[in-house]
Structure 1
Amino acid sequence: GDAFQFSDSAIAGNDRLTGGGATSTNDMYGDVYLLRGLGGKDTFVGGAGTNTMYGDARQMSGTGGTDTFAGGAGTNTMYGDAYLVTNGGTGGADTMTGGSGTNTMYGDAYMFSDSVVAGNDRLTGGGVTSTNEMYGDVFVLNGLGGKDTFIGGAGTNTMYGDARALSGTGGTDTFTGGAGSSTMYGDAYMIIDGGTGGADTMTGGNGAASVNTMYGDAFQFVDTVIAGADRLTGGGAGSTNSMYGDVNVLYGLGGNDTFFGKAGASTMYGDAYTLYGTGGADTFTGGTGANTIYGDAYELKASGIGGKDVITGGAASTQNKLYGDAFLLAGAGGNDTITGAALVANSMYGDADTFSVGAIGGNDRLVSGTGNDAMWGDAANRGSGTGGADTFVFLVKNGIDTVYDFMQTDLDKINLNALKLASGAQFQSFAAFSAAGRIEVVGSDTLLHLDAVSAASIAHTVLLLGVTGLTAADFIF
């Protein structure tokens, strides 16, 4: 853009570089081959050939300019500032947009050497036919990542908040999935010993072709890593979303992440798909699409410990399957709170679907919605596992609910405090509740009548399977 070499104090120009045609190979340097000063504000437009664009230089120890890149129809490789930024260098706030071909974008550089300050860059994927690989800062990061923004295109998008491999500290990055397939890593594909994940924000794309896979921090942790507190939101109607709060397999401590479902179908894992370590205290709110939520992981191994998670089903959802800890539990479940959504048939599992030998359930709190809910304080298949002391909470107009594993020996409780406050004398104590005929034994089961107007009504009931002989100790009024 300016020269091969600057001598002493030189001022870079604001240049515009455009690649050639389909058979061309283009190497474009915004300012100079080696930059020690301040880069200019350059504009790059890729051609139909093979384009390699360096925002400022091949190697830089100065300050990068705020450059703008637009990929062409060919193969585009974009370096926001330089291939190599060395000691003392500072990345510019660059803007990159992929073309219709194959795009590889580095917000700052391929490599940082020594002490470097990353820029706050904006990377956008290309069109329907494009394949986009986007790195917020660099391929390997040992320092501090920038605050980068990613927007997925209509093609196939792979986004790394900071780097492919991170041993430094991730930036607070923002991701939005595109209309195509988007895989988002909040910080890196792999965070290695000493690395710290940033507090990233991810939102899935919209539409039937939008498939969003989100990892709050990385696909893999190696050795001692600190997970970030991330925020993950599913995509809109028609989209399919898989959200992992931290990583695919977690051995350490999970972050305290926040999840929101939207109109798409969302599967949320509080920490990982497989958990060997300790889950974070995560918060989930389901969307209007089909929600499957695992407070910690799909599989919680024998060494794993579930976090203290808060899960709320999505209102007007087609499905809420809510698991306090995991689908398969071999370790110790956390003390979770699960609340069913209104007017939805919620399936709530305080800990898991299935306990393995040695599993220990947490002391969970399950709150019924106004729909017809299925509730398990511990697990649908408990086997020889140990249950926790769970509390089943029922509100006014609870619907027609079924509790599958109320265990008096586990000190489980039925909480009717909300009805005591709203529904009159029959809900003030166990004696009054029982005397009003609201406890009906049906064979080996017990049916609780919770309709505020009539004890004979079956509009609002709770069926306790395999339970008879309830006492005052089983209730909270």
Structure 2
Amino acid sequence: MTFRAVDIIRNDLKVLAGNITINSNQLLINVDDLHYMKGDVISLQFGFNINGSTASDTLSGMAGRDLIRGFSGNDVIHGKAGNDVLYGGMGNDKLYGGAGRDILNGDAGNDFLYGNAGNDTLNGGSGNDRLEGGAGADKLYGGSGKDIFVFKWVKESTASAIGRDTIYDFSQKEKDRIDLKAIDADTTIKKNQDFDFIGTKKFSKNAGELRYEKKNGDTFIYGDVNGDGKADFSVRLDSIVNLRESDFIL
């Protein structure tokens, strides 16, 4: 079911079944003003501002710069194309960026944030959040709570600064962890291998080694997956941290 702007300005749209697609530009939509069945999906075309409801909403932007707020409820929000700004609000929300420089804010609750392509900024807020930047040089802020920073392949955070992610508030006190479990630590043999954490030691040209070093007030994590003694990916922490194996999910 598709509506143009003229169809929805009256603030009382009733939809009995099916998903909703709204075509317009520069329009504010309040989901509380739309009467739709549970499980329906609100999708937006072009640049939109949309406010969710007190229910568990599924909200999706499209092309253009979207501003989407989930408010309360366990929401699922997709920014898709454009430089989008997403707010989960209260509840255990799932926020997905897309192409572009997106800003994802989990706010309260145990949220999952995925930046996707582009140099994104992810803010977990309060709660025990999971943050995955995706491709690009992403900025990751866990916020308060026991947060997990997820990396699933080496190109999500490259050895060079141009594609390297930065974690800005990694806290051992709050039991934050860095999840590298999905990365194959040794590409020279079959199946998915775990990393061997070697602390601050230098690489010894054995595939699967994970090390860190402290430099200029920052901490850098390096992984060698092919055994050439060089880092194939890296992650920057913006403070000095004496990392332990228990800080990782390997």
Q: TM-score range by the shorter chain?
A: 0.7 to 0.9
Map of 2:55 onto structure 1 = 255
Does residue 127 of structure 2 align to residue 362 of structure 1? Answer: yes
- Identify which of structures 1 and 2 has the higher relative contact order when contacts are C-alpha pairs closer than 8 Å and 6+ apart: 2
Larger radius of gyration: 1
Structure 1, residues 377-409: CA drift from partner, whole Å, max 9, x if none? 01xxxxxxxx20000111221230100000000
Q: How many residues align?
A: 231
Map of 1:146 onto structure 2 = none
SS in 2 for 1:473: helix
Question: Counterparts of 2:5 and 2:183 in 1: how far apart (Å)?
Answer: 51
Question: Counterparts of 1:215 and 1:156 in 2: how far apart (Å)?
Answer: 10
The letter for the 1-side match of 2:220 is L
The letter for the 2-side match of 1:393 is V
Question: Counterparts of 2:198 and 2:59 in 1: how far apart (Å)?
Answer: 42
TM-score (norm 1): 0.44
Map of 1:321 onto structure 2 = 103
Does residue 47 of structure 2 align to residue 232 of structure 1? Answer: no
| Aligned-residue identity in percent | 29
Map of 1:157 onto structure 2 = 9
Does the 8 Å contact 1:150/1:159 carry over to 2? no
Structure 1, residues 427-469: CA drift from partner, whole Å, max 9, x if none? 5232489663731111332101235345534x63211111321
The letter for the 1-side match of 2:134 is G
Question: Counterparts of 2:151 and 2:201 in 1: how far apart (Å)?
Answer: 17
Structure 1, residues 46-67: CA drift from partner, whole Å, max 9, x if none? xxxxxxxxxxxxxxxxxxxxxx
The letter for the 2-side match of 1:414 is I
Decide whether aligned partners of structure 1 residues 439 and 424 sit closer, same or farther in structure 2, where only a CA change above 3 A counts. Answer: farther
Please give the residue correspondences for 1:286-365 in structure 2 after superposition, counting only pairs within 5 Å.
286-296=79-89, 306-314=90-98, 316-317=99-100, 319-325=101-107, 333-342=108-117, 344-351=118-125, 361-365=126-130
Map of 1:280 onto structure 2 = 73
Map of 1:133 onto structure 2 = none
Decide whether aligned partners of structure 1 residues 444 and 285 sit closer, same or farther in structure 2, where only a CA change above 3 A counts. Answer: same
What displacement does 1:259 show?
1.5
Does residue 156 of structure 2 align to residue 398 of structure 1? Answer: yes
What displacement does 1:270 show?
0.8
What displacement does 1:151 show?
3.4
Decide whether aligned partners of structure 1 residues 450 and 287 sit closer, same or farther in structure 2, where only a CA change above 3 A counts. Answer: same
What displacement does 1:217 show?
2.2
Map of 2:52 onto structure 1 = 245
Question: Counterparts of 2:116 and 2:58 in 1: how far apart (Å)?
Answer: 18
Question: Counterparts of 2:66 and 2:145 in 1: how far apart (Å)?
Answer: 28
Decide whether aligned partners of structure 1 residues 350 and 423 sit closer, same or farther in structure 2, where only a CA change above 3 A counts. Answer: farther
What displacement does 1:281 show?
1.0
The letter for the 2-side match of 1:322 is L
Does residue 46 of structure 2 align to residue 218 of structure 1? Answer: no
Does the 8 Å contact 1:230/1:245 carry over to 2? no
Does residue 139 of structure 2 align to residue 374 of structure 1? Answer: yes
Does the 8 Å contact 2:11/2:33 carry over to 1? no
Does the 8 Å contact 1:268/1:293 carry over to 2? yes
Question: Counterparts of 1:468 and 1:347 in 2: how far apart (Å)?
Answer: 22
What displacement does 1:150 show?
7.3
Structure 2 gap segments, 5+ residues each: 158-163, 204-209
The letter for the 1-side match of 2:124 is G
Question: Counterparts of 2:200 and 2:239 in 1: how far apart (Å)?
Answer: 20
Map of 1:7 onto structure 2 = none
The letter for the 2-side match of 1:213 is L
Question: Counterparts of 1:341 and 1:411 in 2: how far apart (Å)?
Answer: 25
Structure 1 gap segments, 5+ residues each: 1-148, 163-170, 175-200, 220-226, 247-253, 272-278, 297-305, 326-332, 352-360, 379-386
Please give the residue correspondences for 1:413-424 in structure 2 after superposition, counting only pairs within 5 Å.
413-420=177-184, 423=187
What displacement does 1:157 show?
3.4
Decide whether aligned partners of structure 1 residues 413 and 232 sit closer, same or farther in structure 2, where only a CA change above 3 A counts. Answer: same
Does residue 240 of structure 2 align to residue 475 of structure 1? Answer: no
SS in 1 for 2:33: coil
Decide whether aligned partners of structure 1 residues 295 and 256 sit closer, same or farther in structure 2, where only a CA change above 3 A counts. Answer: same
Map of 1:456 onto structure 2 = 230
Question: Counterparts of 1:216 and 1:415 in 2: how far apart (Å)?
Answer: 36
What displacement does 1:322 show?
0.3
The letter for the 2-side match of 1:409 is K
Question: Counterparts of 1:234 and 1:285 in 2: how far apart (Å)?
Answer: 10
Map of 1:429 onto structure 2 = 196
What displacement does 1:158 show?
2.4
What displacement does 1:476 show?
0.8
Please give the residue correspondences for 1:180-195 in structure 2 after superposition, counting only pairs within 5 Å.
none
Map of 2:146 onto structure 1 = 389
